[in-house]
Amino acid sequence: MTSFAFFQRLSKSFQDHPSHLKLILLCTTVTGGGLLAYSDAASSEVPVTEKKKVVVLGTGWAGTSFLKNLNNPRYEVQVVSPRNYFAFTPLLPSVTCGTVEARSIVEPVRNIAKKKEVDVLFSEAECVKIDAENRKIYCRSNINNNLNGKEEFVVDYDYLIIAVGANVNTFNTPGVVENCHFLKEVEDAQKIRRTVIDCFERANLPNLSEEEKKRILHFAIVGGGPTGVEFAASLHDFVNEDMIRLYPGIKDLVKITLLEAGDHILSMFDKRITAFAEDKFQRDGIDVKTGSMVVKVTDKEISTKELKNGGEIKTIPYGMAVWSTGIGTRPFIKDFMAQIGQASRRALATDEWLRVEGCNNVYALGDCATINQRKVMEDIAAIFKKADKNNSGTLTVKEFQEAMNDICERYPQLELYLKNNQMRNIADLLKEAKGDVKKESIELNIEELKTALSKVDSQMKFLPATAQVASQQGTYLAKCFNRMEECEKNPEGPLRFRGEGRHRFKPFRYKHLGQFAPLGGEQTAAQLPGDWVSIGHSSQWLWYSVYASKQVSWRTRALVVTDWTRRFIFGRDSSRI
């Protein structure tokens, strides 16, 4: 009894003081760092009336990292999302084959909110309409409930953060929605897992012809991006490490095909990685079909257009198809875009501070948004005018040098251009326009400046729709919000070229930390910053440690690590639940 009460107190103290736990787990869990730091600042009481209401739509990477990093108690936050949890999506392909459990990669938003100084309300609902003019959003609970119309409600905001991610884009290919699986949500991964087992059970029914069995055990994956490739690799491991022990005689019947419309899989990676992956898949018996564009899917067959063979239409029987290509816009975002004059775009356009163009106090980040980087050439006159401090009509090197920091900060393409053309400083750039004169004496008029900067905008890059970008945007925006008042008084951003003064904040800059492509069989390719490429077992361990350290909480970290251990000891489970 006494000893029991001790245990109970211990358990309670664990749950109440997660920091004890962290220390303990720090010693026992394999993690690659990434200690979470929660603000422990004394809660400063702010009168409710003064609080600004921030509404966050979505609990994905962008929304959650915003929420985690916001710590100014002058805000009150309301999160609206159809999912009451954050999911660590890079592990979704692992969930499809049971290497990791679905529940191990999710963390309830309320758990995250509970630890904050900031007041956070959560509503499990979908936003269906944004009224930016009146600063209102219209929401509907997506729970199958019996509330007689009360499942719809309106929320007012001072600031709106749109972080709802993207839809799957089927490019209107007929039959995709009806017959293909997707791999964006936790439910998708769980459904794929059940369906894989289903296929094996179906193929083991009596009475089926060999041909029929082969069809059922043909797994087709559409899209050779990181998700599709990782799913193909996981499935191959699952079949060869676990399923063939339990379903004898099926080894020769199973086939995995990866269909990619482009010339190569993993085209966003270094060529060495692409080649290694294609090679490994060939050895593994995974059929990689490049130049193969899916044009139609029925319940038993996929039709492809073979781009390399003059557009020949081929038909492949299949048992299960996973569609892992294309990102689309959610319907209510499309409506909102029409409202604010962005109807022709693919995603919400924001400026470099993540503010949605065409309305006030609305921010968008993650997969539902793209940053509309201003071009140098658009602003060339304003730049010239700001830099030409003595209004002489010409720009000396010294004048240009003084404005340089602000220009580079405002137009990152310039910095990139200098770097890629191996120019050490601004004089090198100007020299091109003026020829080889003595550096200090160079003076340019506006036409000459235009010539000098004419190629700079070609260096502009669109950010990829990845978790890394979304997460960094969330963190950036939260830090801006935390210091809003401070930066209002002492702006720290670059010079306003087309206006007076300085911008409040530095614009968002993405820092690429590298990318993994797990290829199965404990082989992982890693592309790290500086074009450093690593392939093989060592990357696999790096992958394990990075993915463990990037978990949103110590709870999910421990769960993921124990899942890996379980898999290592017992293999993957094949129960159809």
Site for its own copies in 7-66 (CB under 8 A): 7-8, 11, 14-15, 21
Q: Which is nearer to its own copies, 203 or 442 (CB)?
A: 203
Q: Which is nearer to its own copies, 180 or 186 (CB)?
A: 186
Interaction mask 555-574, its own copies, x per CB under 8 A: x--xx--x---x-xxxx-xx
Cα–Cα distance list, 304 to 180, 259, 289 (Å): 14, 9, 10
- The least distance separating its own copies from the CB of residue 466, rounded to whole angstroms, comes to 23
Q: Which is nearer to its own copies, 12 or 509 (CB)?
A: 12
Q: Binding residues for its own copies, how many (CB under 8 A)?
A: 73
Is the distance from CB of 384 to CB of 446 less than 8 angstroms?
Answer: yes
Interaction mask 183-222, its own copies, x per CB under 8 A: ---xx--x------xx--xx-xxxxx---x---x------
Q: Which is nearer to its own copies, 8 or 420 (CB)?
A: 8
Tokens (6 digits) for 161: 């953060």
Residues within window 262-321 making contact with its own copies, judged by CB under 8 A: 299-300
What is the separation of C-alpha 209 from the centre of its chain, rounded to a whole number of angstroms?
Answer: 44
Q: Which is nearer to its own copies, 214 or 503 (CB)?
A: 214
Half-sphere exposure of 244 (CA within 13 A, CB side): 14
Is the distance from CB of 397 to CB of 428 less than 8 angstroms?
Answer: no
Q: Which is nearer to its own copies, 287 or 522 (CB)?
A: 522
Is the distance from CB of 498 to CB of 382 less than 8 angstroms?
Answer: yes
Residues within window 337-396 making contact with its own copies, judged by CB under 8 A: none
Is the distance from CB of 339 to CB of 132 less than 8 angstroms?
Answer: yes
Q: Which is nearer to its own copies, 44 or 207 (CB)?
A: 207
- The least distance separating its own copies from the CB of residue 40, rounded to whole angstroms, comes to 19
- The least distance separating its own copies from the CB of residue 494, rounded to whole angstroms, comes to 41
Residues within window 230-269 making contact with its own copies, judged by CB under 8 A: 245-247
Is the distance from CB of 208 to CB of 113 less than 8 angstroms?
Answer: no
Interaction mask 120-149, its own copies, x per CB under 8 A: --xxxx---------------x-xxxxx--
The phi, psi pair for 128, rounded to 5°, reads -110, -15
Pick one of 27, 49, 150, 424: the residue that binds its own copies (CB under 8 A).
150
The phi, psi pair for 245, rounded to 5°, reads -70, -35
Half-sphere exposure of 533 (CA within 13 A, CB side): 13
Q: Does 114 bind its own copies (CB under 8 A)?
A: yes
Considering only the stretches 99-107, 356-364, 388-396, 419-427, report the one whose residues sit in contact with its own copies under the rule CB under 8 A: 99-107
3-state helix, strand, coil in the chain (%, to 5): 40, 20, 35
Amino acid at 510: Y
**Which residue do the tokens 């609902």 mark?**
125
- The least distance separating its own copies from the CB of residue 155, rounded to whole angstroms, comes to 7
**Which residue do the tokens 């459990």 mark?**
101
Tokens (6 digits) for 225: 């991006």
Per DSSP bridges, beta strands 395-396 and 443-444 are antiparallel
- The least distance separating its own copies from the CB of residue 554, rounded to whole angstroms, comes to 8
What is the separation of C-alpha 284 from the centre of its chain, rounded to a whole number of angstroms?
Answer: 29
Q: Which is nearer to its own copies, 342 or 539 (CB)?
A: 539
- The least distance separating its own copies from the CB of residue 300, rounded to whole angstroms, comes to 6
Is the distance from CB of 343 to CB of 350 less than 8 angstroms?
Answer: no
| Radius of gyration of the chain, Cα coordinates, nearest whole angstrom | 27
Q: Which is nearer to its own copies, 417 or 543 (CB)?
A: 543
Pick one of 29, 71, 111, 394: the residue that binds its own copies (CB under 8 A).
111
Q: Does 73 bind its own copies (CB under 8 A)?
A: no
- The least distance separating its own copies from the CB of residue 460, rounded to whole angstroms, comes to 39
- The least distance separating its own copies from the CB of residue 331, rounded to whole angstroms, comes to 22
Residues within window 496-555 making contact with its own copies, judged by CB under 8 A: 522, 536-538, 540-541, 555
- The least distance separating its own copies from the CB of residue 197, rounded to whole angstroms, comes to 7
Q: What is the dihedral of CA 273, 276, 277, 282, to 10 degrees?
A: 160
Amino acid at 166: A
- The least distance separating its own copies from the CB of residue 175, rounded to whole angstroms, comes to 13
Q: Which residues does 98 contact at the CB level (< 8 Å), separation at least 6?
A: 193, 238, 567, 572, 573, 574
Q: Which is nearer to its own copies, 80 or 429 (CB)?
A: 80
Contacts within 8 Å (CB) and 24+ apart, 337-345: 339/130, 339/132, 340/132, 345/370
Q: How many residues does the chain have?
A: 577
Q: Does 85 bind its own copies (CB under 8 A)?
A: yes
Q: Does 115 bind its own copies (CB under 8 A)?
A: no
Q: Which is nearer to its own copies, 81 or 413 (CB)?
A: 81
Q: Which is nearer to its own copies, 50 or 299 (CB)?
A: 299
